[in-house]
């Protein structure tokens, strides 16, 4: 019971004492005030009793309904409410009927109520508290393998929770408690690379009556590698750069633990060396897109080779090695090109046509409406609307469960051994 309730109980008890023995109360003090009060109370002999049978339930709309026994001598009832970890209940509302419906409730909180009756005869003491925990939707837990070789778990906050308990599955199949925290995240450093680990989290609520509520989440599985082959992946590719928007896209990729492939033109590299270096640093792939956007199907085999070689030389200065994959400008490819490029030819399965419409929303929709596991998406990082689309798409795809990987990573994890001169539009899971 809290302090405020005790104060009320005290006042009421004093009231009852003065009704029961009014003569003594008058003797005890000469104050005129007390005499007046005594006269009033003697007129109304019926005291106001404390509401009993206080019941609480959650209706199908998620509102809380509290009801109690009617007190005949009461004109109204004062409701007290406190939420979660608050210690003091505050006067919440006053009603005439012995029931309330509280619509101001949210999932994940615990609500406590008590009620006091008020009538001409005075006030009752405050009833015992009743409570209801408004359960959140199924608890969720997600985990990622970090660069520091730990698994970082996080989950949604349950405001009513006193603590969260983390469970890990051991080889016996059993989930064993490995830690507890007041925060909504937890790091597990006892993990090896290239393995799957399973976790659950439970929230614990310690109730005023000494009981505890504990609810566990569904299991989440974390693969200790940067890429989980069991999850969806997509390769975003940006052609014709590097350019003035490349760095911003790289920053966004970095923030989202994502990577992309930049099919660059040799002639643009010197102007944006730093952006390209940063892309390489976060694991992006730098692919070859010819030196100056020659449509390779229209030139000689020697010219194809020259275009590839000159660009590779520039790429090597940035990354330390030649490009692994290439993309033909304009998708122009024929047997001569296939024979001369010396690298796998990567085309695309989603063409955003961003260069044509220069419309951010159209670029976004063409990806979000069509994307599937194993897709290769064609965009151009030299256009501002495309940059804006990329800044939206990178977190949005991640949120949908896609891992944003490079073309070479996609090939590796989907089991492709890319061949020189062969053409690839997508790299889907083999059946």
Residue among 239 and 375 whose Cβ is closer to Zn ion: 239
Q: What is the dihedral of CA 394, 398, 403, 404, to 10 degrees?
A: 0
Q: How far is the CB of 173 from Zn ion (least distance, A)?
A: 52
Q: 282: which residues sit within 8 A by CB, 6+ positions away?
A: 250, 253, 254, 259
Contact indicator for 352, 367 with CB cutoff of 8 Å: yes
- How many binding residues for Zn ion (CB under 5 A)? 3
Task: Respond yes or no: is residue 188 known to be catalytic.
Answer: no
The smaller minimum CB distance to Zn ion, of residues 239 and 381, is found at: 239
Shortest spacing between CB 340 and Zn ion, in angstroms: 18
* 239 makes contact with Zn ion (CB under 5 A): yes
Q: Among the candidate windows 45-53, 328-336, 338-346, 360-368, which touches Zn ion by CB under 5 A?
A: 328-336
- Listing DSSP states for 106-164 in one string gives -TT-EEEEEEEEEETTEEPPPPPPEEEE-PPSS--EEEEE-TTS-EEEEE---TT-SEE
Stretch that binds Zn ion, among 116-124, 238-246, 334-342, 411-419 (CB under 5 A): 238-246
Nearest to 311 by CA among 241, 401, 207, 226: 241
| Residues contacting 173, CB < 8 A, separation 6+ | none
Residue 311 to residue 326: CA distance in whole angstroms: 11
The binder of Zn ion chosen from 329, 344, 374, 385 (CB under 5 A): 329
Q: What whole-number distance in Å separates Cα of residue 115 and Cα of residue 127?
A: 5
Contact set for Zn ion, span 57-76 (CB under 5 A): none
Strand partners, 201: 166
Task: Kindly name the residue from 240, 289, 375, 380 that is annotated as catalytic.
Answer: 380
Does 381 interact with Zn ion (rule: CB under 5 A)?
no
User: Is 240 part of the annotated catalytic residue set?
Assistant: no
Stretch that binds Zn ion, among 204-212, 236-244, 366-374, 390-398 (CB under 5 A): 236-244
Stretch 129-188 residues interacting with Zn ion (CB under 5 A): none
- Report the Cα–Cα distance between both ends of the chain, in Å, rounded: 65
Q: Judged by CB, which is closer to Zn ion: 239, or 285?
A: 239
Strands (E), 289-375: 345-346, 350-351
Span from 30-38, 83-91, 215-223, 321-329 in contact with Zn ion (CB under 5 A): 321-329
Q: Of all residues in this chain, which one has the CB nearest to Zn ion in the complex?
A: 239
CB of 263 to Zn ion, least distance (A): 7
- Among residues 198 and 306, whose Cβ is nearest to Zn ion? 306
List all residues 6 or more positions away from 318 whose beta carbon is below 8 Å from its beta carbon. Answer: 269, 273, 276, 277, 280, 286
Pick one of 129, 188, 240, 280: the residue that binds Zn ion (CB under 5 A). 240
Rg of the chain taking only CA atoms, in angstroms = 35
Q: In terms of CB distance, is 139 or 329 closer to Zn ion?
A: 329
The piece of 89-97, 189-197, 308-316, 329-337 that touches Zn ion (CB under 5 A) is 329-337
From start to end of 207-260, where are the E strands?
212-216, 220-223, 233-239
Minimal distance, residue 331 CB to Zn ion, in Å: 9
Catalytic option among 239, 312, 375, 381:
239
Residues 89-108 close enough to bind Zn ion by CB under 5 A: none
**CB of 217 vs Zn ion, minimal distance in Å:** 46
In the complex, the smallest distance separating the C-beta of residue 245 from Zn ion, rounded to whole angstroms, is 15
Q: Of 123 and 240, which has the nearer Cβ to Zn ion?
A: 240
Q: Residue 102 or residue 351: which is nearer to Zn ion going by CB? A: 351
| 3 state SS of 250 | helix
As measured in angstroms, the least distance from the Cβ of 329 to Zn ion is 5
Helix (H) or strand (E) holding 256: none
Cα gap 371→401, rounded to integer Å? 12
Hey, which residues are catalytic here? Answer: 239, 380
Residues that bind Zn ion (CB under 5 A): 239-240, 329
């Amino acid at each position: 019971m809290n302090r405020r309730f005790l104060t009320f109980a005290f006042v009421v008890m004093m009231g009852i004492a003065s009704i029961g023995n009014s003569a003594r109360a008058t003797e005890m003090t000469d104050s005129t005030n007390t005499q007046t009060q005594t006269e009033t109370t003697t007129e109304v002999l019926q005291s106001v009793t404390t509401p009993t049978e206080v019941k609480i339930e959650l209706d199908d709309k998620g509102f809380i309904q509290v009801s109690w026994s009617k007190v005949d001598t009461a004109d109204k009832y004062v409701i007290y409410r406190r939420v979660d970890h608050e210690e003091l209940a505050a006067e919440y509302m006053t009603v005439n009927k012995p029931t309330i419906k509280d619509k101001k409730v949210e999932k994940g909180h615990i609500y406590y109520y008590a009620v006091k009756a008020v009538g001409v005869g005075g006030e009752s003491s405050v009833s015992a508290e009743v409570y209801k925990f408004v359960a959140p939707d199924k608890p969720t837990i997600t985990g990622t393998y970090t660069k520091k070789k730990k698994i970082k778990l996080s989950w949604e906050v349950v405001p009513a929770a006193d603590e969260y308990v983390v469970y890990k599955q051991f080889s016996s199949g059993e989930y064993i408690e490995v830690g507890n925290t007041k925060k909504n995240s937890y790091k597990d450093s006892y993990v090896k690379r290239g393995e799957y680990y399973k976790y659950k989290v439970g929230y614990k609520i310690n109730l005023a009556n000494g009981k505890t509520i504990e609810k566990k989440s569904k299991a989440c599985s974390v693969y200790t590698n940067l890429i989980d082959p069991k999850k969806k992946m997509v390769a975003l590719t940006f052609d014709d750069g590097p350019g003035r928007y490349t760095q911003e896209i790289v920053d966004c990729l970095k923030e989202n633990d994502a990577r992309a492939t930049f099919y660059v033109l040799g002639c643009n590299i010197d102007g944006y060396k730093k952006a390209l270096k940063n892309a390489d640093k976060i694991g992006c792939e730098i692919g070859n897109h010819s030196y100056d956007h020659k449509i390779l199907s229209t030139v000689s085999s020697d010219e194809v080779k020259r275009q590839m070689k000159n660009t590779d030389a520039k790429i090597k200065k940035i990354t330390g090695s030649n490009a692994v994959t290439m993309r033909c400008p304009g998708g122009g490819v024929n047997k001569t090109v296939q024979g001369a490029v010396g690298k796998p030819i990567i085309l695309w399965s989603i063409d955003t046509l961003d260069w044509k419409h220069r419309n951010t929303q159209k670029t976004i929709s063409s990806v979000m409406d069509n994307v599937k596991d194993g897709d290769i998406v064609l965009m151009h990082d030299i256009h501002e609307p495309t940059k804006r689309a990329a800044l939206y798409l990178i977190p949005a795809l991640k949120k949908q469960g896609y891992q944003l990987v490079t073309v070479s990573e996609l090939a590796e994890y989907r089991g492709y051994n890319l061949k020189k001169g062969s053409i690839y539009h997508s790299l889907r899971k083999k059946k």
